[in-house]
Chains A and B, each alone.
Chain A
């Protein structure tokens, strides 16, 4: 009984006094902004890279595609081969050393990082569309571009959407290292409260719970998506 009231008291002291919970709210807002905008950048980059890779596999002899494909491969390998935190710090301390806008740099870094993973999601989604669809489109005289745009991509999106949602969930959690470049995201906000109250338990557990609730909510949405999309597959 006293254990429970003790926790409540700590909770009150750490978060309610001096309105420290507002820090968490502000941090949450920063986390969500970074995650959302990075996803948009990641999707934009991912689509370009995926289309280049798929086009190259269809026309292996094209010199232009060979070069573009090589560039994309380097991009993907470097991003997947280095830790996110290191990429973030390189962006902030090396590439944009003159900038002081941590949030903007973070968005760029997470966006570029996400792009490499989204590219693979898109590529897998495109390749999962039955080859006969492309053959039918091309046999009617539609160009590769028209076939991709009108026939393949609309069907690929069905495959891609659930995986993309999962990527957003991953992104949401990854943004927690933004504090390394002094960005005040949710995790950093928790740290700041920890420093000023000397209480580690309350801020950390609350921050973890906030992430957990967000992820569980998104997972539920992904589930609804997947079931809706599977329904239209009933032939």
Chain B
């Protein structure tokens, strides 16, 4: 899955983002290849969530270009909706649709966008639910689920769209500690299946085990990056060392 693509999955050139006078992203240049699992870590305020949210244009860059599978998504000619169908996003607060059953949460987008008929979508939903061990929740409503279950459903909901890349915005930060493991397990499986993933997280263990690259962000730029073992064993920047000493 990794080698035959001519362009990277995601390419970011000179990305800047300001909210009013707050210059959050100060120049990011990155290439994310197919099959990579990029883990983004850093102190709060470093811009890591903003960076992730720019990738599917939930935030509009103030400057710079973003390419997804060779197509410039920051161009006014680009159809944002079409690009987002190829990218799955998992949120810190799950954002399941409370007025729909779990099954409908999963089948809504594929059916409304004409990608699948209802039967096909339902079948797919059942397969995905079985994969995360939540088949019995198909007709339940999100309100009756635990945080860990909700997040696993949220991941499955994005997968129903057959995305090429999955973005995770602190997927376990809002979970009780005993539920973090079940969500990380799903993400681990996804990674093993070859999915390209960009994960903003504080879970260093996950970064070490599953990541192909760790990006440390501070002050709106990527201060340092490396493959996980080298990164955690030999951080070079003082800020990185300081951060890691506090979280590890």
Which A residues have a C-beta under 8 Å from some C-beta of B? 130, 132-133, 135-143, 146, 150-151, 154-155, 232, 234-235
Contact = CB atoms under 8 A, between A and B. Distances in A.
B108 A150 contact: yes
A140 B98 contact: no
Contacts of B154: 136
Interface-centre pick from B81, B85, B88, B158 (highest chain A CB count, 10 A):
B81
Contacts of B113: 141-142, 146
Contacts of B99: 154-155
21 contacts: A130-B95, A132-B91, A136-B89, A136-B91, A136-B95, A136-B97, A139-B87, A139-B158, A140-B108, A140-B161, A141-B81, A141-B85, A141-B109, A142-B81, A142-B108, A142-B112, A142-B113, A150-B108, A151-B97, A155-B98, A235-B143
Interface string B113-138: 10000000000000000000000000
Given A139-B84, A141-B81, A146 B112 contact: yes
Contacts of B56: 139
B91 A135 contact: yes
Contact of A138 (B58, B108, B157, B158): B58
B84 A141 contact: yes
Contacts of A130: 95
A139 B81 contact: no
Interface string B127-166: 0000000000000000100000000001001100100000
A133 B112 CA distance: 16
A232 to B, nearest CB: 8
A234 B141 CA distance: 12
Contacts of B91: 132, 135-136
Contacts of B158: 139-140
Contact of B109 (A142, A155, A234): A142
Contacts of B108: 140, 142, 150
Nearest to A158: B99
Contacts of A235: 143
A140 B157 contact: yes
B93 interface: yes
Interface-centre pick from A136, A139, A142 (highest chain B CB count, 10 A):
A139
Contacts of B82: 141
Contacts of A142: 81, 108-109, 112-113
Nearest to B96: A136
Interface in B64-106: 81-82, 84-85, 87-89, 91, 93, 95-99
